[in-house]
Amino acid sequence: MNLPNALTISRLVAIPPLMFLLVARFDYHDQVAAAVFIVFSLTDTMDGQIARRQGTVSDLGKFLDPLADKLFVLSVLIVLVQEGLVAAWVVVVIFSRELLITLLRTAAAGQGGVIAAAPLGKTKTVTQVVAVTLLILQRPYPLLGLPATLAVAFAVLFTVGSGLDYIWRWRHVLVPAGAPRVESSVEPAARELGGFLAESGLSLALAESCTGGLLAALVTDLPGSSTYFIGGVVAYSNSAKEKLLGVAGKLIADHGAVSAEVAEAMANGARARFGTALAAGVTGIAGPDADGTDKPVGLTYIAVATPSRTSSQEFTFLGDRWANRREAAVEALKMLAESARSVAAGKSTVKSA
C-alpha cells in the first residue's frame, strides 16, 4: 500500500458517508456533502500524478483507480435520482458509457494494449464533477437550478462524445479475432502522414529510443508505406545512439540522453544514414521510474529533421509506460505530417517559380 493507492481507496471509503450526507436532514448537510464530493474528486488527479512522480505506478492502482472513479460518481448520482434532483436517464447514459469503455479496455488488454485516458475523457470527468456539485447545491440554493441543468447537459454531451471518441480511436479492438484488420488498425495520424508522403514523393527515416520501434510499427501499419518509409534505428542505449546515429558522446554527457539536443542529433543522424527528406528522433523517460535521473517520468523530446531545418518539441506525458510510448509515437506522427506539409509546399513553390 502506497500513498497513491491510499488516495484511490479513500474515494471508495468516502462513498457511504457521502451518501448519508445527501439523504440526511440537518443544517447545511448539502453544503457539507458538496464539499466532501469536491475534496475526494480532487484525489482522482492527485493519485495518478503522485504515482508517476514517485515511480509507484502499480497493477493494484491501475485496477482500483477507474473502479473508484466510476463507483464514486455513480453512487452520488443514484442518490440524487432518489432525491429527485436529476433524471434517471442521465445516470443510465453515464453508466452505459462507463460500462462500454470498461469492456473496450478489457478487450484491448486481452490483445496486449492499454487504453490511456484521452483529452475528451478528462474533460468528461471535469464536467461530471461540476454538474454533480451544482446538483447537490441547487437544493439549498434554488438559483443554481438553471446552471445545474446546463451543467448536466454539458456533462451528458461530453460523456457521449468521449465515449464515441474512445470507440473511434480503438475501433480495431472491436474487430473479431481472425477478421481482416489491416485497414482498421491504422493510426489516423499515420494515415495522414502517409498521404502527404505518398503524394509528395518525400521519404522518411526514424530514430527511436523510448518508443522502441512503436513509431515505425505505426508507420508501417499503413499498406503501401514501403514507397516512402526507408528504414529506422532503435537506439536504446547511449552507445547505440553514438555508433548507429552518430550522436556525439559529449552531447549526451552535457545534456543527457533525454534532451532536445540529443533528439535533434538522432533525427539528423537517421536522415543522414538513410538519405531521406524527413527524419524523426524520439527520446524520453517512459516510466515507471526515472532511470536514475532527476527528470520527470513522461518527459519526452521529439525532433524532426528536414532538408532546411531541424526542430524539436518537449512533452511531458502523464500515462503509464505503454501510454507514454504510444502518445510519443502519435505526437511524432503529427509533427512529421506538419513538416511533410511544409516541405511539400516548399517544393511546389520552387516548381512554380
Give me 297's grid cell: 517520468
Distance in angstroms (rounded) separating the CA atoms of residues 91 and 78: 7
Centre a 10 Å sphere on the Cβ of residue 254 and count the other Cβ atoms it contains: 11
233, β-bridge pairs: 207
Buried-exposed string 39-66: b where 16+ CB fall within 10 A, e elsewhere: ebbebbeebbebbbeeebbeeebeebbb
Backbone angle region of 141, left / alpha / beta, with phi > 0 → left and psi within -120 to 50 → alpha? beta
Domain spans, the chain:
3-174, 188-352
Segment 310-352, tens digit of pLDDT: 999 999 998 888 888 999 999 999 999 999 988 877 764 434 3
Distance CA 253, CA 236 (A): 16
The confidence score (pLDDT) of residue 55 equals 64
Total-model pTM? 0.53
| 124-128-131 Cα angle (round to 5) | 140
| Joined grid coordinates for residue 20 | 448519508
Whats the size of the chain, residue-wise? Answer: 353
In this predicted model, what pLDDT tens digit does every residue of 24-81 receive, in sequence order? Answer: 999 999 999 999 999 988 887 777 677 666 666 666 666 677 778 888 888 999 999 9
Q: Give the pLDDT mean for 128-152.
A: 93
State how far the alpha carbon of 76 is from the alpha carbons of 10, 17, 308, 343, in Å.
15, 11, 57, 53
324, 328, 334, 339 alpha-carbon torsion, rounded to 10°: 160
Helix pair 119-137, 59-82: axis angle to 10 deg? 40
Q: Look up the CATH superfamily of 188-352.
A: CinA-like (3.90.950.20)
- For residues 170 and 177, give the distance between their C-alpha atoms in angstroms, rounded to a whole number: 15
Lowest mean pLDDT among 67-71, 177-181, 195-199, 266-270: 177-181
Question: Which residue from 39, 22, 29 is spatially nearest to 75, judged by alpha carbons?
Answer: 22
d(CA 108, CA 102): 10
- CATH architecture of the domain 3-174 equals Up-down Bundle (1.20)
- pLDDT tens digits for range 260-287: 999 999 999 999 999 999 999 999 998 8
Which residues, at least 6 apart from 83, have a Cβ–Cβ distance to it below 8 Å? 22, 23, 139
Which grid cell is 148? 445545474
Fold match between domain 3-174 and domain 188-352: no
Confidence at 23, pLDDT banded by 50, 70, 90: very high
